[in-house]
Amino acid sequence: MYEHSADFEEVPTFEKKKAADKVEIDNDPVDLSTAISQDRKDAVAAAIAAAEAAAQEAANAEAAAGGLVVQKSRQDASITATMTVSHGWTIYEKEVEPDYWWWYIATDMADAILSDGEIFYQYATMIDQSSEYTEDPYTIGCAITKGTADTYTIQAFTHTTDPDTTGNLAYDADPSVVGQTWENQDSTEAELLSDTDWSAGTTHVGDNLAPESTDSLNSNFACYFAREYAKIGRNPNDFNKDFQVTIGARIYADSSATTFDYIPSPAAFTVTLTEPDSFYTARQTGAFSLFASTMAAVAMLFALTF
């Protein structure tokens, strides 16, 4: 009689992996002049003034050594933000190890807009454009706290396709968002963390981190998340489909705040969920193995018959 032995179990290690081609989506800058509070705009103006004063002082000191007088003119800067998205596959080698469709959303804006301890919540709402095997719309939210490094919190919402509630997509003006803390928004459609296949953090992102801002007064605030796809039991109808994606962001003073400033959403764009290489290879290998085993069985039956 066969006895099970743990010695023959394949244990996930997640040590060796390969990253599939990533997709980067850049969006046009959005104007924040009517979206953030006057206090935040004043903080940005103060940061700009301080930087200009420091630059002027350095220029004057350098010019004084040469007997010159230099006066630096004041430059008025507009307050904008640029949101970018990147996504791709991280594929692990073992059959028992899931693969991950990773994402990040990053917002490049003046660092002074956010104060330490404030919560920056970025989200992506995805609407399946398929005519068959269509998923319900869903939103993934990812929160970070300024001043606390490498802390990411995930939220996942599955939205009903009932015509009366299709507007309930966790956008900034949605009634399920307005007047709620960020943790309690759209509570009727929020997935339990124990049930969702989305997770936050950089574990499965690999080297695909968001770049630093090229503006000395800006930071590129990024949040990372990924969706798990088991190799065993996958449905090919889940892949090779387009999603209409709307991204946005909100700023909360703390976890108890029920009001927020927001980053206006750029134009919606399309993201294609491709079939990961490991799944495609497994399907091809599986089909060949089935064919080979079938032919072997036929040959054996033929041999026994004659």
pLDDT class for 234, splitting at 50, 70, 90? confident
Decide if 32 contacts 263 (C-beta within 8 A).
Answer: yes
Give the whole-angstrom CA distance, residue 262 versus residue 136: 26
Helix (H, G, I), strand (E, B) or coil at 154: strand
pLDDT at 291: 43
Query: 6 pLDDT exceeds 50?
Result: no
Q: What's the CA gap between 243 and 284, in Å, rounded?
A: 26
Render pLDDT for 66-79 as a digit per residue (tens, 0 to 9). 655 555 544 445 68
pLDDT band for position 168 (cuts 50, 70, 90): low
What is the residue-wise DSSP string for 52-85? HHHHHHHHHHHHHHTT----PPP-----EEEEEE
CA contacts within 13 A on the Cβ side of 259: 3
Q: Give the pLDDT score at 129.
A: 95
Question: Is the model's pLDDT at 267 over the cut of 80?
Answer: yes
The average pLDDT across 151-175 equals 76
Domain boundaries, the chain: 14-35+79-295, 37-75
CA distances from 206 to 26, 134, 146, 173 (A): 20, 30, 22, 35
- Please tell me what DSSP assigns to residue 245: E
The pLDDT of residue 276 is 85
The per-residue pLDDT for range 170-205, each reduced to its tens digit, is 788 888 899 999 999 998 899 998 899 999 999 999
